[in-house]
């Protein structure tokens, strides 16, 4: 089994070729089918040996193709204090990117 652990958007993801992944939105304008390269690779496993970085594996990259961009479902945040007429309601939709992992190099 071929997989890697990458770091993007302050989070770590275990990825394998052919997987579709929802990640934090990356800066810049991307069109469907554009290539995205992740160079912060923390671990690479090719089935027979495992390379663990300290903190990154040198020379390792993960290539992906951009599929779509969107926003997640709304999360409602309510602040309420009883007996004080204090009520605040806020909503938030987190932007995301959908990428398909092409290759681990």
Supply the pLDDT for residue 53: 86
Q: Phi first, then psi: give them for residue 28, nearest 5 degrees.
A: 100, 170
Supply the pLDDT for residue 85: 95
Domain-wise residue ranges, the chain: 3-104
How far apart are the C-alpha atoms of 38 and 21, rounded to whole Å? 13
Give CA torsion, residues 32, 15, 18, 25, to 10 deg: -10
Query: Is 0.85 surpassed by the pTM of this model?
Result: no
Confidence of residue 61 (pLDDT cuts 50, 70, 90): very high
Mean pLDDT over 84-96 rounds to 97
Supply the pLDDT for residue 62: 95
Mean pLDDT over 14-19 rounds to 95
């Amino acid at each position: 089994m071929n997989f890697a652990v990458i770091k993007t958007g302050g989070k770590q993801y275990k990825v394998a070729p052919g997987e579709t992944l929802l990640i934090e939105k990356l800066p810049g304008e991307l069109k469907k089918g554009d290539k995205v390269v992740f160079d912060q690779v923390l671990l690479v496993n090719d089935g027979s040996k495992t390379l663990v970085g300290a903190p990154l594996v040198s020379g390792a990259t993960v290539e992906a193709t951009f599929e779509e961009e969107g926003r997640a479902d709304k999360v409602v945040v309510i602040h309420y204090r009883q007996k004080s007429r204090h009520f605040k309601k806020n909503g938030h939709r987190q932007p995301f990117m959908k990428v398909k992992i092409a290759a681990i190099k």
